[in-house]
């Protein structure tokens, strides 16, 4: 589906590092950018310390003032969000949850409505029972995109708790009526795609650590890794896209031991790449399981 506006330059590009329980210490981190003269220019970083702010962003988009726009006018956006959008087909089918054995356009919405009504304790109990009943090495049910991305299964409830991220975030995507290719036929001027910045960080750093949720555990090596990753973005080493970040924002990205906004910039990079491929399913596979979804920018066949 091509973008409804004349140019990808008309869309604000958002990279979002999601938190299921945002706080001042661990917010929903947003990097906001635009295509300008063939370069992705990241001009703003935002933080939301509650889910209300994230929901309003989904509903209204970032407000901009510019040519032909009144101040405060919501702008069309394409957002890449670091959170799972779906669950494993194997898991859903065997649990016989809504969406089981279905690939119709309402399968994802019915599944998310059901999942949202579960409590976190319910989710943990159900998923733990699933894992306890399976042999070692095969505990979790994976989505088709997990292996090529090297991402955690979306049913994992700890380290990282992506099952809770899905529980907190996906219902807001549904409620906001955003367009999600292959999953939800929403507003084509508000587009949301799943992202995974860890994949792109590994293309530059391998398994070298560049962040820690405990700022006291930040090290010179981690800071150097963040610098190396940022330089790779600026030099166009990832996806062939050069990224420009304002100097004062660059300093913030280097100083942030948790790297929440640096991960958001990586997601913004993927948003830029996807926007250029809007008429090619945003670079996603032509066929997407609506229960599972797909991680934007990840090749369908190439292993990590």
Q: Could you report the per-residue pLDDT of 1-30, keeping only the tens digit for each?
A: 667 766 777 899 999 999 999 999 999 999
pLDDT at 269 over 60: yes
b/e per residue 110-139 (b: at least 16 CB within 10 A): bbbeebeeeeeeebbebbeebbeeeeeeeb
Cα distance between residue 140 and residue 219, in whole Å: 33
pLDDT at 78 over 50: yes
Could you tell me the pLDDT band of residue 75, with boundaries at 50, 70 and 90?
A: confident
Residue in this structure with the two tokens 């330089």, named with its chain if needed: 231
Mean pLDDT across 130-146: 95
CA–CA separation, 251 and 272 (whole Å): 22
H, E, C per residue of the chain? CCCCCCCHHHCEEEEEECCCCCCCCCCEEEEEEEEECCEEEEEEEEEECCHHHHHHHHHHCCEEEECCEEEEEECCEEEEEECCCCCCHHHHHHHCCCCCCCCCCCHHHHHHHHHHCCCHHHHHHHHHHHHHCCCCCCCCCCCCCHHHHCCCCCCCCCCCCHHHHHHHHHHHHHHHCEEECCCECCEEEEEEEECCHHHHHHHHHCCCCCCCCCHHHCCHHHHHHHHHHHHHHHCCCCCCCCEEECHHHHHHHHHCCCCHHHHHHHHHHHHHHHHCCHHHHHHCCCCCCCCCCCECCCCCCCCC
Asked if the model's pLDDT at residue 36 lies above 90, the reply is: yes
pLDDT band at 119 (very low <50, low <70, confident <90, very high): very high
Q: HSE of 41 in the Cβ direction (CA atoms, 13 Å)?
A: 10
What pLDDT, on a 0 to 100 scale, did the predictor assign at position 165?
A: 98
Domain boundaries of the chain, sorted by first residue: 8-83+193-275
Tokens of 60: 């209204």
CB atoms within 10 A of CB 290: 24
- Mean pLDDT of the chain, nearest integer: 93
Predicted confidence at residue 6, as pLDDT, reads: 63
CA distance 76 to 63: 9
pLDDT tens track for 216-235: 999 999 999 999 999 999 99
What is the pLDDT, as a whole number, of residue 208?
97
Phi-psi sector, 137: left (phi>0), alpha (psi -120 to 50), beta = left
Residue 33 pLDDT exceeds 50: yes
The Cα-based distances of 198 to 141, 153, 210, 262, 264 in angstroms read: 20, 14, 10, 11, 11
Structure tokens at 303: 């292993």
- Does residue 121 carry a pLDDT above 70? yes
141/136 Cα distance (integer angstroms)? 12
Say what the pLDDT of residue 301 is.
65
For residue 303, what pLDDT band results from cuts at 50, 70 and 90?
very low
pLDDT at site 5: 63
Answer whether 2's CB lies under 8 Å from 143's CB.
no
Tokens, residue 249 = 């924002």
| The pLDDT value given to residue 69 | 40
Which tokens is 88 given? 């494993």
Rounded CA separation 102/89 (Å): 10
Task: Using pLDDT thresholds of 50, 70 and 90, give the confidence band for residue 304.
Answer: very low
Tell me the per-residue pLDDT of 151-210, one tens digit each, with 9 for 90 and over. Answer: 999 999 999 999 999 999 999 999 999 999 999 999 999 999 999 999 999 999 999 999
pTM of the model: 0.94
């Amino acid at each position: 589906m091509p973008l409804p506006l004349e140019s990808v330059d008309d869309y604000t590009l958002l990279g979002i590092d999601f938190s299921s329980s945002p706080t001042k210490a661990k917010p929903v981190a947003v990097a906001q950018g635009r295509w300008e003269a063939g370069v992705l220019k990241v001009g703003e970083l935002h933080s939301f310390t509650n889910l209300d702010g994230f929901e309003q962003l989904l509903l209204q988009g970032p407000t901009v003032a510019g040519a032909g726009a009144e101040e405060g006018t919501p702008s069309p956006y394409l957002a890449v969000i670091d959170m799972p959008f779906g669950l494993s087909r194997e898991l859903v089918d065997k649990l016989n949850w809504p969406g089981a054995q279905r690939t119709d356009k309402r399968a994802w919405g019915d599944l998310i409505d059901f999942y949202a009504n579960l409590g976190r304790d319910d989710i943990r109990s159900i998923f733990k029972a699933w894992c306890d009943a399976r042999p070692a090495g095969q505990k979790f049910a994976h989505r088709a995109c997990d292996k090529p991305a090297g991402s955690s299964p979306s049913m994992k409830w700890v380290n990282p708790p992506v099952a809770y991220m899905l529980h907190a975030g996906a219902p807001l995507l549904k409620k906001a009526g955003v367009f999600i290719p292959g999953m939800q036929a929403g507003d084509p001027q508000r587009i949301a795609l799943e992202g995974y910045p860890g994949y792109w960080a590994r293309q530059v750093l391998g398994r070298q650590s560049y962040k820690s949720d405990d700022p006291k555990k930040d090290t010179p090596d981690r800071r150097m890794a963040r610098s190396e990753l940022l330089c790779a973005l600026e030099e166009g080493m990832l996806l062939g896209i050069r990224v420009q970040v304002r100097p004062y924002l660059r300093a913030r990205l280097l100083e942030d031991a948790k790297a929440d906004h640096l991960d958001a910039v990586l997601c913004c990079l993927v948003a830029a790449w996807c926007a250029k491929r809007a008429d090619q399913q945003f670079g996603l596979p032509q066929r997407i399981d609506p229960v599972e979804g797909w991680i934007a920018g990840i090749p369908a066949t190439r292993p990590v």
